[in-house]
Amino acid sequence: MSQLLVKLFVKEYENTNDAKVRTSYGVMASIVGVICNVLLFATKLIIGTLINSISITADAFNNLSDAASSVISFIGVKLAEKPADKEHPFGHGRFEYIAALVVSFLILFVGCTLFKDSFNKVLHPEPVGFSWIMVIILGASMLVKVWLSIFNYKLGTRINSTVMKATAADARNDVMVTAATIFSIVVGKLTGVTIDGWVGLVVSVIVLLAGINIAKDTLMPLLGEAVDKEVYDNITKKVEGYPGIVGSHDLIIHNYGPMRIMATIHAEVSNDSNIETIHETIDQIERDVYKDMSIALVIHMDPVEMKDESVLEKKEMVKAIISSIDSRATIHDFHLVHLEKYTNLTFDLVVPHSYSGKDEENLLMEVTDRISDIDEQYQCIIAIENSFIAE
């Protein structure tokens, strides 16, 4: 069914790197979400009103919030499609994240309202009507939500959409919510015990948690998040695969929305490389990365010593000392400068984010002392920094 809808309503659906194709996916998913959730809302509201069930009514309004979420997602996807202009040179892709954030606030509002109503129902319980037709209808709505969850997750993964993945997670929560609602009705029928209000509380908590998780997921790219390890490995492997590139470090990714990613990286080259040749190689890498990965990559060239045995020996000595202190710490940009009375060992030292200021100070002191113990003429010039990779 999912693939059929894609083929019918998304032109060139296999070309997911195209911004227009990606927008078509988002629009189609939003429309499908609105239609399904409005139908579910109407059905559950009628049933909940007829049998006086707060849990079913709560579940119905949860579906209505899902329909509103799909409308907001539609607006967000359309706004994100707008091209770059003089006020927004990086495009409008972050509108999709903002839309997802608005969705999360809407879900949180609904969750708070349902919690209040359910709490009142706990304090003042009322009998809940029962019919097997109602149970069957609610069970059918669960199947619709299961399909919606799979549908949004598949398409969201295909086009890497935060909004669609959030919608899929929300649909999964709805499945659990409806299952809990059916449970309360059946228990009431078999035992005569009214647990409707309590189940309504559970429903509201699940809705609140969904809203919090969606808000968290959408705030991360807006605030600026660490580079995913897999993405880091893919980019560095590609960059280091070109002739003349002997290493890389300091990869930073700036996310301006799906399909609108900029990145910078330091590429290490031999200090005796031909400047024009290596510059042409770097230009080629930037073009290839944009073509293959849709990432606008800017490469800073770092010349490193590759032949001087004295420099290489000192570098390995420093790496061994640091590794013996903390195996998680690494170095780059190592340079050896011989002065009249001293020899400067200059390098950047990358430490984990868990390090406090005191930890960094202690590490610097220990590294400096150990190197000085080997030769008093060695002077360390160390710049402490953190990795940009997610830990």
pLDDT per residue as tens digits for the range 242-277: 999 999 999 998 888 766 788 999 999 999 999 999
Q: State whether 262 and 335 are in the same domain.
A: no
| pLDDT score at 125 | 76
Residues 283-302 have a mean pLDDT of: 92
pTM metric for this prediction: 0.67
Tokens of 269: 């080259």
Residue-wise pLDDT for 175-228, tens only, equals: 877 787 788 778 877 887 777 788 778 878 887 887 888 888 788 878 877 788
Question: Which H helix or E strand runs over 314?
Answer: helix 309-325
Sequence-ordered strand ranges (E) for 228-274 = 245-255, 261-270
- CATH number of the structural domain spanning residue 243: 3.30.70.1350
Determine the Cα–Cα distance for residues 165 and 152; give it in Å rounded to an integer. 6
Residues 4-29 have a mean pLDDT of: 79
Could you identify the residue written with the tokens 């939500």? 145
Residue 282 is assigned to a structural domain of this protein: yes
Residues 99-107 have a mean pLDDT of: 79
Domain end residue (candidates: 223, 252, 272): 223
Residues 22-49 have a mean pLDDT of: 86
| pLDDT score at 349 | 94
- CATH number of the structural domain spanning residue 212: 1.20.1510.10
**What domain range includes position 186?**
2-223
Asked if residue 314 lies in contact with residue 345, where contact means CB atoms within 8 angstroms, the answer is: yes
Residue 391 is assigned to a structural domain of this protein: no
| pLDDT score at 97 | 82
Number of domains in the chain: 3
Asked if residue 261 lies in contact with residue 251, where contact means CB atoms within 8 angstroms, the answer is: no
Domain end residue (candidates: 304, 334, 358): 304
List the one residue out of 175, 183, 182 whose CA is nearest residue 145.
175
Domain end residue (candidates: 223, 238, 270): 223
Asked if residue 264 lies in contact with residue 300, where contact means CB atoms within 8 angstroms, the answer is: yes
The fraction of the chain above a pLDDT of 70, given in percent, is 97
